[in-house]
Chain A
Amino acid sequence: NAGVTQTPKFQVLKTGQSMTLQCAQDMNHNSMYWYRQDPGMGLRLIYYSASEGTTDKGEVPNGYNVSRLNKREFSLRLESAAPSQTSVYFCASRRMENTEAFFGQGTRLTVV
């Protein structure tokens, strides 16, 4: 049982470069989420997808785009990376509202 799988685990980017963080879940969950974790700020929601075909902005969407490619996959794209986007990124999914959210292991991104 893989659960929620994120790739890559680590990444270093130069300012202005672009990249896509991948997330896939094999639990047939409807909702998927992207968070960033910064010291002292907890997890802040970037974007979420309540169901296949829908995406919505969270608390800190600026500088990011997402794609809910299908029910399994939810990707996060940085078009032009900035040092302020240095963070640990977590993908999560859950079957439906008010159920447990399952998290990936995180992607540690550094923008220099």
Chain B
Amino acid sequence: GEDVEQSLFLSVREGDSSVINCTYTDSSSTYLYWYKQEPGAGLQLLTYIFSNMDMKQDQRLTVLLNKKDKHLSLRIADTQTGDSAIYFCAERGDSSASKIIFGSGTRLSIRP
């Protein structure tokens, strides 16, 4: 079945890089997504990667995709206090592409 897995917590020092990892099961996913949820708010799309890409960079964000291992990662360079949030990995869920399946979310906390 469909499954997306992430570790629940990550703590990094301000200024360091954060790497959030995700594994998924649906090999037919065309797009894979990273969403960010700030406290008391809904989710917002942070970035996404098309399945025929290995890497996508967008300012401080780098997404790496290993299709063979079904592994997705999000690297945040120079992590700031404003990056504190829950980060969700998501895939489309099935061949119909109508569903979006989310991981459990990784809560990123920043140490001074």
In the assembled complex, how far is the CB of residue A103 from the closest CB belonging to chain B, in whole angstroms?
3
B102, A98: Cβ atoms closer than 8 Å: no
Report the interface size for chain A: residues with CB under 8 A from the other chain: 26
B103, A45: Cβ atoms closer than 8 Å: no
Report the interface size for chain B: residues with CB under 8 A from the other chain: 26
Secondary structure of the B contact surface, majority rule = loop
Q: Which of B12-20, B38-46, B58-66, B71-79 contacts A (4 or more CB under 8 A)?
A: B38-46
A98, B30: Cβ atoms closer than 8 Å: yes
Interface status of B24 (Cβ within 8 A of chain A): no
B41, A45: Cβ atoms closer than 8 Å: no
Interface status of A33 (Cβ within 8 A of chain B): yes
The number of inter-chain residue pairs (CB within 8 angstroms) is 61
Interface string of A73-112 (1 = CB under 8 A from B): 0000000000000000010101001101101111000000
Interface of chain B residues 1 through 46 with chain A (CB within 8 A): 4, 6, 8, 30-31, 35, 40-45
Nearest B residue to A42 via CB reads B104
Interface status of A25 (Cβ within 8 A of chain B): no
A105, B88: Cβ atoms closer than 8 Å: no
In the assembled complex, how far is the CB of residue A99 from the closest CB belonging to chain B, in whole angstroms?
9
